[in-house]
Structure 1
């Protein structure tokens, strides 16, 4: 977050309006003995200056403080992060209010002031972060922002919490190489996002270190969801030669790839080994259970909540971006390659 501007006072607004502090106070309190034109002028200046009443300031301690959490949609991945955030909030005595980004209204000064008036102490996003207008408005009312697992690191100095995506991609691919696979395809997320780039570079680093070339058509990008895994999984499985293994950069896309294999009469893991990324509850609900790279999703939510509260309290943090370690979890969707089919 940018450095916080000096807090606007009633005297500042009164001087700008050319009225007394008492008049500004009457407008704030809804008193009727103020001329309509004067009331309109004062109200506009309150918004322009980003005035926040002391009684609703985010560092209050009246027991009604909350943290706002934005997310694009509720899926297996986001559910785990939200659970971790809420649990950490409960331990800190702070409630977490979850809002869908489609339900967000505005982005200007009055919108940000309403958040503060409602008792919000900070904003946590499980999206690609707030817009520039939202960030500016939140900064004016001194509401810190923490972004969880951003697709791209924000341009503005916003605090964020993520995971070791490169290391995760490296370990997933190394696992398949250790099993003897050489024809390994990569199904990634949106091509230009930092998250996808890190996981894909981990994949390429492992392949290059093993001296295994990667045909361009073996690398597919576009999304982390099930339909993408189904579509792009079908595309790589229709290639000749067919991959013997797939590293999908999300659990949902990995399940899509498994379904694409079954539609072609291929068995997992006998004919195709599949590795995912996330380790959501979906990984243990499929058959066979999914080998995947575990992101510490609940811990990411907890770290974001604690970071947000520290920022709201005016404390300094050691780093604006924190990466938590990933871990490969081996289950039933991978097995040793048939050496007669493994090489190009």
Structure 2
């Protein structure tokens, strides 16, 4: 293998591949008008010669990009990072974390994809509020970079591989728990209103409430716009100001639930004596709130492992069993829920 990339020119790569210099340039720049067989041959030579960062040791020292389409990460996102990094350590894979604030693939998808390929990434695992644009998918395809969406907030089409949780079932379980305690006036505090995961949790929750003949009037349903605690305080306060007030609140994340607990405290309400609260995700935050939070366990560590394994299978050209995988959620009962006073 050539050890000095400075001695390798595009002409040398082109001569060895039996193509023109222009064709090699097209491959490097992610142009689509190159036959796949030719593209594969050129990329292999670029890695062989270590040209421009195309390393030849990708198989022995593979890396995966864990990309977040958010500038502000939550506690839940740190759990995702931990899950993928742990899975990578078991597989001998290095995980590199990027976020939109550092790199914006929407600005120049082709350049972003080329940079990932040049840095030796084998695949991209993306956590984002919206399904990545067709231009980004095309740019990744050009450099043969498989993509897996992890816990997508928007439902991807059948061509996109995703790993998520059973959000509808989780919302249904949250409502069933509160209903079993005797609550009937229950509020829902969601995150991003039109996000698929948020809507699935709401619809699952609503289906359980309406199945027992209870109602969910519009004033008891709010969407905070994000899943962060600060919005939980603000929007939780609005829900608690409704007359008559709800006896229980289901928040679509543990951070939102923690915000509602604080909103209740500011109004002199005690949890769970005056108000029951249930969250979603079962992050470490749920164990340190006061009182400890009843929540829906999201299988984030299993999701991270499945996403990484699926990404590596795609990178190796292997067939996968399903394009969309949903792992089961589970109710975790702690101290923030109890029967209503009345």
TM-score with structure 2 setting the length: 0.84
Q: Which of 187, 193, 196 is the aligned partner of 2:195? A: 193
- Say yes or no: does 1:150 pair with 2:157: no
Alignment of 1:307-322 (within 5 A): 307-322=310-325
Tell me, in whole angstroms, the C-alpha distance in 2 between the residues paired with 1:124 and 1:236. 36
Q: Tell me which residue corresponds to 1:68.
A: 65
Q: Tell me which residue corresponds to 1:166.
A: 168
2:188–2:221 CA contact under 8 A, matched in 1: yes
Distance 1:275 1:175, change over 3 A: same
TM superposition shift of 1:302: 0.8
Tell me, in whole angstroms, the C-alpha distance in 1 between the residues paired with 2:169 and 2:177. 12
Of 70-79 and 299-308, the range deviating more from structure 2: 70-79
Distance 1:181 1:46, change over 3 A: closer
**Which ranges of structure 1 fall in alignment gaps of 5 or more residues?**
1-21, 30-37, 340-344
- Say yes or no: does 1:53 pair with 2:52: no
1:68–1:98 CA contact under 8 A, matched in 2: yes
Of 235-244 and 225-234, the range deviating more from structure 2: 225-234
Q: Tell me which residue corresponds to 2:12.
A: 26
TM superposition shift of 1:105: 4.7
Q: Which of 273, 277, 288 is the aligned partner of 1:270? A: 273
Q: Tell me which residue corresponds to 2:209.
A: 207
TM-score with structure 1 setting the length: 0.84
1:58–1:121 CA contact under 8 A, matched in 2: no
Q: Which of 233, 238, 241 is the aligned partner of 2:236? A: 233
TM superposition shift of 1:83: 1.1
Distance 1:137 1:300, change over 3 A: same
1:189–1:196 CA contact under 8 A, matched in 2: yes
Distance 1:235 1:58, change over 3 A: farther
Q: Tell me which residue corresponds to 1:10.
A: none
Q: Deviations 1:232-259 (Å, cap 9, x if unpaired)?
A: 1111111110101000011111111111
Q: Tell me which residue corresponds to 2:50.
A: none
Tell me, in whole angstroms, the C-alpha distance in 2 between the residues paired with 1:45 and 1:117. 12
Q: Tell me which residue corresponds to 1:126.
A: 127
Q: Name the SS of the counterpart of 1:125 in structure 2.
A: strand
Q: Which of 325, 329, 335 is the aligned partner of 1:326? A: 329
TM superposition shift of 1:224: 1.5
TM superposition shift of 1:113: 2.5
2:181–2:338 CA contact under 8 A, matched in 1: yes
**Which ranges of structure 2 fall in alignment gaps of 5 or more residues?**
1-7, 48-53
Q: Name the SS of the counterpart of 2:98 in structure 1.
A: strand
Q: Deviations 1:64-110 (Å, cap 9, x if unpaired)?
A: 21001111243210111111111111111111111112211553434
| Coordinate RMSD, CA, aligned | 2.4
Q: Tell me which residue corresponds to 2:87.
A: 88
2:58–2:122 CA contact under 8 A, matched in 1: no
- Say yes or no: does 1:181 pair with 2:178: no
Q: Name the SS of the counterpart of 1:53 in structure 2.
A: helix
Q: Tell me which residue corresponds to 2:140.
A: 138
- Say yes or no: does 1:306 pair with 2:309: yes
Tell me, in whole angstroms, the C-alpha distance in 2 between the residues paired with 1:310 and 1:40. 32
Of structures 1 and 2, the one with the larger relative CO (CA 8 A, separation 6+) is 1
